[in-house]
Each structure stands twice: as structure tokens, then as C-alpha cells.
Amino acid sequence: MKEKEIFDKILARLQAADTPKAQPSAEDKREIGGQIKQLRAALKLTPNQCARALGVAVQTLYRWESSQPPRPTTFLKFEHLLTEMGKARPTEAGPPVAAPAAPAKSPINSVWETRAYRDLDDILEREKEAKAVYLLKSRAPFLAGQESQTRDQMVAIIQSHLDQQREFNFYFFCTDLPNDALESYKTFRSYLDALAAPGGVANHVHGWCLTPEHAFKVGVGDSYIGWVIIEYQANRDKSRFPRDLDVLVELPVAELKDRSSNVHDTQVTRYYWFELPNQRATPTWKLWKPLIEKNMQEDEIK
């Protein structure tokens, strides 16, 4: 598909330019803008139609097509547009289709498009069908690092995968500043090392510190929000888990006992996980995973 090839080329250039050390020239920006205009033309959309489909002002689109290209995360709006137009187009030579509704502006905004939230029991059930689980945090502690039933259940999940000879790993990521997330991961590692569980459970738990640049780009930054990304086994129960991937945002909640309670003095007593819609989960992880894999090339947390 010609449009997809153009999209991939533009995204690669935007990602290469979206680093602190990168200094794209004015000529580079004009070339990217020209490619964006080429993509719109390939989609057979007028500037007004394209801007409306992307959920931006037409003046913004004109800037993108001239000398001010968008950030990679913003440019992913075009991937949603390509998907929707591909579904609606009857044949390659068919007539132009009406512009689809605009996608969410960011993964965080997508939370409010979800149809349901997931509780801890549901997350643990999903991990039983996973091949890899990525847990991203900034400040809030990892539940595995607390002495609780959850920690034991996570260990049991790993052991179950090993017993079935299935590929599986837990990958923990947090910022390198002193915080509850980092300390809770170290506590979990110490527990596993002391446990010496059969089958090498500890060998399937890994942790890395995110660079400040990557932490911001993968949605943790300096906040109590966390993320859980679940990549599923190919031989999972697809009637229960039809998607290959789930991306969920974790929100810690302090339950107030009465109206006079001060939320700043109240401990977090519950966590909720909100599932991103499929049209946002896949492109979000497509953008984040290369950043995560760069951190995985560094030394693990000791």
C-alpha cells in the first residue's frame, strides 16, 4: 500500500529527529513537510477533509506540510486514518471515502474512551496467558515488592509458565531517582533470590531504570500513573483474550473513610487498570517498545 510506505518513512524520520541531540535542519523539516503533503494527496483528501479527520485545525496541518512537522506521537493520528480508510475503501480504484472521526489526542486521553476498567484479579488472569508483561512506573511502588498475596500469585504465575514450558518474563521499569517504585522492585528481587524457587523463577524477572528522556516519552515521567503492557501467548485461549496485546494505564486510588478525610494523609488502598482501545493500544506500544528495548541494553537493576 503506497500510503503505508509513505507513513512509515515519515514516522522513521520524525522518531530520529525527536531526541535531545538531534538538530534537524530547516531543509529536513521542509522535506518531511513535503512527505506529509504527499501522504495526504495519496489519501485523496483535501486539506480541510484531512484536518477534520485528524481532529486538528487546518492551519495546523498547513504548518506540518510546510516547515513545522509534528511530534511522532501526534503523527500517529495518520495511522488511525490509514486503518479506517483502508476498511472503508471497497477497492483500490474505488472512490474517495468520507473522512473518519478523529482519534484520541494521546494515550492518556484514550483512557476516557475505554468501555471498562480491570481489577487486580483480572490482570493476574491475563498474565497467566501472557508471554511477556511490562510494568512501567515512576513513583508508585510495584505490588510485587510488597509482602502480600499478590507477590505470591505473581511467583506462582511464573512457575506455572515454567511447568508448561512456555516462554514468559516479567519486565519492570522505573525511573532511577530514589522512589518507592525502585525500592519495591529491589525488595522483590531480594525476595526471589532468597526464595531460591524451583525452576529458576528469579531468572524470569528483570528490571531496568528508564532514562529521564525515555520515562517521559513512555508516559510515566514524574507521576503516580503506571502502565501494564501484556503480550499474549500465540496458543492462548482466544475466546477470552482475542487480542495479541493489551495496554492498560494504572491509577492508584486513595479511598476516603469519610468526608472529613484529607486525601494527602490517606494511603492508597486500591488500584484500577483502564484498558486502551485497540486502535490506540497497538500504535502506542509500537512507538514505546523501541524506547523500552534501548533501556534493556543497559545493566539491570541490582
Kindly report the pTM of this predicted structure: 0.62
Q: How confident is the model over 107-159, as pLDDT tens digits?
A: 444 444 445 688 899 999 999 999 999 999 988 889 999 888 899 999 999 99
Q: What is the mean pLDDT of residues 78-91?
A: 66
Q: Distance between CA atoms of 41 and 46, rounded to whole angstroms?
A: 8
Share of the chain above pLDDT 70, in %: 82
Q: Whole-number mean pLDDT of the chain?
A: 82
Hunting for cell 513537510 — which residue is that? 33
Domains of the chain: residue spans and CATH: 2-102 (no CATH), 109-295 (3.30.870)
Q: How far apart are CA 162 and CA 156, in angstroms?
A: 10
What confidence tens digit (pLDDT) does each residue in 196-252 have? 655 688 899 999 998 877 888 888 877 788 999 999 999 998 888 899 999 999 988
Q: Cell 506455572: give the residue.
A: 160
For the chain, give percent helix, strand, coil, nearest 5. 50, 15, 35
Rounded Cα–Cα distance for residues 136 and 225 (Å) = 9
pLDDT at 108: 46
pLDDT at 260: 60
Residue 146: what pLDDT? Answer: 87
Q: What is the model's pLDDT at position 224?
A: 80
Say if residue 265 is exposed, middle or buried (CB neighbours under 10 Å; 0-12, 13-18, 19+).
Answer: exposed
Percent of the chain with pLDDT over 90: 31
Instruction: Tell me the pLDDT band of 48, cut-offs 50, 70 and 90.
Output: confident
First vs last C-alpha separation in the chain: 46
pLDDT at 259: 62
